[in-house]
Amino acid sequence: MVFLLFKESVLFAWQALVGNKLRSFLSLLGITIGIFAIILVFTIVDSLENNIRSSIQSLGNNVVYIQKWPWAFGGDYPWWKYMNRPLPKYEELEELSKRSKTTEALAYRMGARKVVKYGSSSISNAIICGISHQYYKIKSFDLTDGRYFTNIETDAGYPVAVIGVKIKEGLFGNEDAIGKQIKINGYNAQIIGVAKKEGESMLSSSMDNQVLIPFNFGRKFLDTKSENADPFILAKAKPNITNAEMSDELAGLMRSIRRLKPYADQNFALNETSLLSKGFDVLFDIIGTAGWIIGGFSILVGGFGIANIMFVSVRERTNIIGIQKSLGAKNYFILIQFLTESVLLSLVGGAIGLILIYFLTLVGKGVIDMEISLTSTNIFLGLTVSVLIGVISGFIPAYGASQLDPVEAIRSN
């Protein structure tokens, strides 16, 4: 009974929509624009959020970065307090390695953009990273060819290198790169490894564009005192140690190493990925709210348009409503009939908006280097909002139609 009632209501609604194509098109246009605006914002925000969170994840959840500048979001950033702080030094890494009880691995990293050459081929602005040996234990990456540095190679500063896939393709094409000699700033370095492709990262430099070399080799031509090199120390906590426990220990050790007095402010920053996550949470909430506001106005206009069309539809079909009720149609049948028409109209408009977004994401994938996709969650949200707008906009006209007196309705024409 319920199924037959629903089926008949859908057929009535569809005939009404098809019979008034222009009116139906103008009605669903507002809903289409509204759903398109809201879901497009959410799709872009979700894709951006997934890429950023993936980049944050690659930085490590149990890693603390000892740096000159703290990570911060919003409000005033007192940069003048941090300007004169000293940069982290390789010698401080060595002291931390001797004293720390909470860290599983400690590493030093600094970098600079240099020209890398092989024969007649060259790559400008390649990121040259001077690293200590345990860097691979903290910043995880896979190798497609070759191997990582040995302890002896890193400690003695052997002229060896692990390169990213874009460096390999730019210098060697499809040739095997292992064992070849590249020239960095006038110094030769032998390639011993090629890293697996990572893709672009939103927050850090992708391994694809990097050349990793032992720090003691890199210090021959990298300026260890330059802030442009962005030197920092990475610390990874032991399995049963929390980041808070490790940070407390590192703060005490760094104060001791730098001989800071008990009342003196810290002249270093201990940064964690949780700081980035919290900052981006606030940012994405603001963008999401803006998306609802932008699309909400369009949906509001579309809702009024549907309500207006439904009032017109009821007026045009008053005589038919009277005939139906005189033949035994109940009030709820008339109510559901017009409500179904309103929901169907809104749902078609929302579906068109979602289809437009889907094709836009396909185009976007080829234009920007970022994964953009219309998720099932956003599709469900778009359809749900469409149905709700249809119910809200169409209820008053549908209820008015259901309450018409059959005799008066038949006489209206």
Structural domain contains residue 404: yes
CA distances from residue 348 to 30, 91, 370 in whole angstroms, order as listed: 11, 66, 30
DSSP bridge partners of 193: 146, 162
Q: Say how far residue 58 (Cα) sits from the centre of its chain.
A: 13
Same domain for 187 and 293, yes or no, is no
Q: What is the pLDDT of residues 325-370, one digit of tens each?
A: 777 777 777 787 778 777 887 888 888 888 888 888 887 766 666 6
Indicate whether 409 pLDDT > 70.
Answer: no
Same domain for 216 and 293, yes or no, is no
Helix ranges (DSSP H) in 60-127: 79-82, 90-99
DSSP label of 228: G
Q: What is the mean pLDDT of residues 371-376?
A: 78
Q: Residue 124 corresponds to which amino acid?
A: S
Report which of 222, 215, 233 is spatially closest to residue 95, judged by C-alpha positions.
233
pLDDT of residue 217: 92
Beta strand 63-67 pairing with 187-195? unpaired
- pLDDT band at 3; cut points 50, 70, 90: low
Same domain for 121 and 195, yes or no, is yes
Cα distance from N-terminal residue to C-terminal residue, the chain: 32
pLDDT of residue 21: 63
Q: What is the pLDDT of residues 300-334, one digit of tens each?
A: 777 777 777 777 777 777 777 777 777 777 777 77
CA distances from residue 219 to 137, 168, 231 in whole angstroms, order as listed: 22, 23, 12
Last residue of a domain, one of 176, 198, 232: 232
Same domain for 126 and 220, yes or no, is yes
Q: What is the pLDDT of residues 233-267, one digit of tens each?
A: 999 888 888 888 898 999 999 999 999 888 888 88
Structural domain contains residue 216: yes
Structural domain contains residue 381: yes
Query: In this predicted structure, which of 14-23, 159-168, 185-194, 355-364 has the lowest mean pLDDT?
Result: 14-23
Last residue of a domain, one of 232, 258, 292: 232
pLDDT of residue 214: 93
What pTM was computed for the model? 0.64
DSSP label of 221: T
**What is the widest separation between alpha-carbon atoms in the chain?**
102
Average predicted confidence (pLDDT) for the chain: 80
Q: What is the mean pLDDT of residues 106-126?
A: 88
pLDDT of residue 47: 76
Report which of 288, 386, 391, 341 is spatially closest to residue 32, judged by C-alpha positions.
386
DSSP assignment of 249-308 = HHHHHHHHHTT--TTSPPSSEEEEHHHHHHHHHHHHHHHHHHHHHHHHHHHHHHHHHHHH
Same domain for 141 and 45, yes or no, is no
Report which of 338, 393, 231, 305 is spatially closest to residue 26, judged by C-alpha positions.
305
Containing structural domain, residue 200: 104-232
Q: What is the mean pLDDT of residues 281-291?
A: 72
Same domain for 131 and 37, yes or no, is no
Q: Say how far residue 186 (Cα) sits from the centre of its chain.
A: 40
- pLDDT band at 107; cut points 50, 70, 90: very high
Structural domain contains residue 13: yes
pLDDT of residue 243: 82
Structural domain contains residue 255: no
Same domain for 299 and 369, yes or no, is yes
Same domain for 341 and 220, yes or no, is no
Q: Residue 122 corresponds to which amino acid?
A: S
Last residue of a domain, one of 232, 247, 266: 232
Domain count, the chain: 2
Q: What is the pLDDT of residues 187-201, one digit of tens each?
A: 899 999 998 887 665
In contact, 191 and 149? CB cutoff 8 Å:
no
Same domain for 373 and 298, yes or no, is yes
Structural domain contains residue 178: yes
Structural domain contains residue 66: no
Angle at 106 between CA 104 and CA 107, to 5 degrees: 145
**Number of neighbours of residue 113 by Cβ within 10 angstroms:** 13
Structural domain contains residue 64: no
Angle at 21 between CA 16 and CA 26, to 5 degrees: 110
Same domain for 149 and 204, yes or no, is yes
Same domain for 201 and 293, yes or no, is no
